[in-house]
Amino acid sequence: MYLFTHRKDLRITDLRAFDYIIRNHKDPGLHLLILDPALTTKERLTAHSGRSFLTHAAQLIAQYADAGQTLHLLYGQPADITAALLGAYPAIDEVIVHADYTPYARQRDEQLQQATRHAGRKWLPLADAPLADLEEFHTFARRSEPYKVFTPFHRMWSTYMQQHYAPAGRTTVRDLHTVGSLDSGVAARFALPPAIAAALAEGAERAAAGAAPEAQGELSRFVRERLSAYGERRDDYAAAGTSGLARFLNAGAISAREAYESAQGSYGADTWIRQLAWRDFYLYQAMFHENFFRYEHLVDQSPLSDRHFEAWATAQTGVPIIDAAMTQLLQTGELPNRLRMVTAMFLTKNLLCPFTLGEQHFRLHLSDYDNTLNRGGWLWSSSLGYDAAPYFRIMNPVTQSQTHNPSGDYIRRWLPELAHQSDRDIHLPEPHAIVDVKASRARAIEVYKTILA
């Protein structure tokens, strides 16, 4: 018997663990989803990312039920739950999960591994989230040091993908044999508290109401309707020219392999697949560079301050494209990539705020929040990290707005109070803008030159 716990893999097709289980276990298994107190705080559950997680969790429960299988839901510390299950089920010989490399996940999995080994069972973390098997890729690349820069990484990654890509698996949960009932002592000890059960029920209602469109349907629609123009339209943020798949990929509602295979061979696929390679690049950094998640401790950020943070976060800077973008984020949890870069550069450079404040704000508000990709984006935008925007190349929010949405319609949509402005004037900072864009840019270059010296 085995124990499998879902984490960032909230789907029932193409899981590396399912392929492993079908090959190695004729016996039944317990399939589990743990609502971890650390990840289900009230603040998180009411944020866009938490709501998105619960909607995907509710969909997963429904998918198991449709397939005639059982997913058990428990609330508590993952290591305590695992230890209790291993105690209640002497027949479990293996604990299977998909590997995760964020600081929290590493610590959690260390405890899980200890609990599993302590009980004399086998601990098996399998690679699933990245498109390439990054451990294998690292060996294939024969590097003495892990890659720090995207371009050479991408070159080698493309070769690896051509030669060693392991396609999506065919096993679904329907092919497995899940255990239907759970030991009553464990079920009672780790039952969902009423507030969490209620939040999950709301997630189920959102899913039933179509708030979370079905991941596979979204993927096929993107490939059919928008992929061919992706290269030209990805920065046209008013028109939503990108796939919008990040929230599904990050919750694991679709696998990166399913996304890649659907796009492969279509016109425009290369540009889009390059973005999937950026995703792998940041996952690779999280795996191989121990400083990726502690970069802020390596540089002296004392010349920076939180003085303007509130104005930025609450869309009160007086720079229209920044305030429009921050309004979209607050109201919807969405923010196109170009505007993530523009607002992040504005916060860290023109407003001289530490990147960690913006990173935390995105954590609470992005519905596709992902710890690793968010950190990668903030390190890039603030010119810190290994492969980052040069500190002297600071995006000007006004020219970015004029270039990527000349009509200013995006600003009109999110800041209706500016709707009367002409197409020419709408991009310009308002008289009460909290900084002068040019002067603050010049100051930022001086400050970052010192920080990075």
- In DSSP terms, 72 is beta-bridged to 32
> Which listed residue (278, 284, 346, 414) binds ligand FAD by CB under 6 A?
278
> Which listed residue (350, 381, 400, 401) binds ligand FAD by CB under 6 A?
381
Q: Which of 119-145 are b and which e, b meaning 16 or more Cβ less than 10 Å from the residue's Cβ?
A: bebebbbebbbbbbbbeebbebbeeee
The verdict on 234 binding ligand FAD (CB under 6 A) reads yes
* H and E: helices and strands count for the chain: 22, 5
The verdict on 212 binding ligand FAD (CB under 6 A) reads no
Sequence letter at residue 191 = A
> Which listed residue (333, 376, 385, 397) binds ligand FAD by CB under 6 A?
376
Using the minimum distance from each CB to ligand FAD, give the nearer residue, 77 or 360.
360
Q: How far apart are CA 443 and CA 441, in angstroms?
A: 5
Check if the beta carbon of residue 341 is closer than 8 Å to that of residue 381: yes
The verdict on 245 binding ligand FAD (CB under 6 A) reads yes
Using the minimum distance from each CB to ligand FAD, give the nearer residue, 124 or 245.
245
Q: How far apart are CA 339 and CA 215, in angstroms?
A: 24
The verdict on 374 binding ligand FAD (CB under 6 A) reads yes
Q: How far apart are CA 29 and CA 95, in angstroms?
A: 10
The verdict on 345 binding ligand FAD (CB under 6 A) reads no
Place of tokens 């479990």: 92
> Which listed residue (124, 246, 263, 269) binds ligand FAD by CB under 6 A?
246
Q: Least distance in Å: CB of 139 to ligand FAD?
A: 23
> Which listed residue (337, 360, 396, 421) binds ligand FAD by CB under 6 A?
337
For the beta sheet containing 72-75, the strands, ordered from the edge strand earlier in sequence to the opposite edge, are 72-75, 29-35, 2-6, 94-98, 122-126
**Binding region for ligand FAD (CB under 6 A) out of 271-279, 313-321, 411-419, 440-448:** 271-279
State which of positions 153-172 bind ligand FAD (CB under 6 A): none
Check if the beta carbon of residue 341 is closer than 8 Å to that of residue 373: no
> Which listed residue (341, 388, 418, 447) binds ligand FAD by CB under 6 A?
341
Using the minimum distance from each CB to ligand FAD, give the nearer residue, 138 or 234.
234
> Which listed residue (9, 323, 370, 387) binds ligand FAD by CB under 6 A?
370
> Which listed residue (55, 242, 367, 400) binds ligand FAD by CB under 6 A?
242
State which of positions 249-268 bind ligand FAD (CB under 6 A): 249-250
Q: How far apart are CA 77 and CA 331, in angstroms?
A: 32
> Which listed residue (368, 395, 405, 437) binds ligand FAD by CB under 6 A?
368
Compute how many residues bind ligand FAD; rule: CB under 6 A.
Answer: 28
Check residue 419 and report its DSSP letter: T
Q: How far is residue 346 from each of residues 239, 340, 352, 407, measured CA to CA in Å?
A: 23, 10, 8, 22
The verdict on 237 binding ligand FAD (CB under 6 A) reads no
Torsion angle of C-alpha atoms 239, 8, 71, 118, degrees rounded to 10? -170
Q: How far apart are CA 216 and CA 222, in angstroms?
A: 10
Using the minimum distance from each CB to ligand FAD, give the nearer residue, 82 or 301.
301
Q: Could you tell me the sign of the dihedral formed by the alpha carbons of 231, 245, 172, 81, in that order?
A: positive
Using the minimum distance from each CB to ligand FAD, give the nearer residue, 72 or 340.
340
Place of tokens 């301050």: 305
Using the minimum distance from each CB to ligand FAD, give the nearer residue, 94 or 370.
370
> Which listed residue (11, 340, 361, 427) binds ligand FAD by CB under 6 A?
340
The verdict on 101 binding ligand FAD (CB under 6 A) reads no
Check if the beta carbon of residue 186 is closer than 8 Å to that of residue 92: no
**CA-closest candidate to residue 132, choices 284, 234, 299:** 284
The verdict on 102 binding ligand FAD (CB under 6 A) reads no
- Closest chain position to ligand FAD (CB): 377
Sequence letter at residue 10 = L
- Interface residues with ligand FAD (CB under 6 A) are 234, 242-246, 249-250, 275-276, 278-279, 282, 337, 340-341, 344, 362, 366, 368-370, 373-374, 376-378, 381
